[in-house]
Amino acid sequence: MENPPHYQGLPIALNPGVTDTKHFFAALDNFTRTFAFRTGDQVLFLADPLLDSRVIDAIGAHARARGATMRVYMEPSCRVERIPDEVKPLLSKANFVVSTWFCSIIDPFCIGLRRQGQRWVKITYFRNLDLLHTAQARFPIEIVGEITRATARRYPMGTDFDIHFTDQRGSDFRIHFTPEMRNNMLATNRWRGRMDASEDGCYVHYLAAHGPNLWDHNAVKNDLSVPTQMSGVLYPQWAVGFAEPFRERIGVHFEGEYVSRVEGESDEAQILRDMLVGGRMIEGGGCGFNPKAPRHTIYPAGSNSPGALHFGINLAKPADYIRRVMPDWEEPPVHMDLVMLDATVRAGDTLLIDKGFLCALRDPEVIEMASRYGDPVDLLEGWV
CA count, 13 A, side-chain hemisphere, 117? 5
What would the pLDDT profile of 171-230 be if each residue is shown by its tens digit? 999 999 999 999 999 999 999 999 999 999 999 999 988 879 999 999 999 898 999 999
What would the pLDDT profile of 34-76 be if each residue is shown by its tens digit? 999 999 999 999 999 999 999 999 999 999 999 999 999 999 9
Contacts of residues 130-134 at CB distance under 8 Å and 24 or more positions apart, as own/partner, are 130/52, 131/207, 132/24, 132/27, 132/28, 132/31, 133/20, 133/23, 133/24, 133/27, 134/27, 134/207, 134/292
Q: What is the pTM of this model?
A: 0.93
Domains and CATH numbers, the chain: 16-133 (3.40.50.2300), 141-179+209-381 (no CATH)
pLDDT at 209: 81
Mean residue pLDDT across the chain: 95
Mean local confidence (pLDDT), 334-354: 97
pLDDT at 2: 63
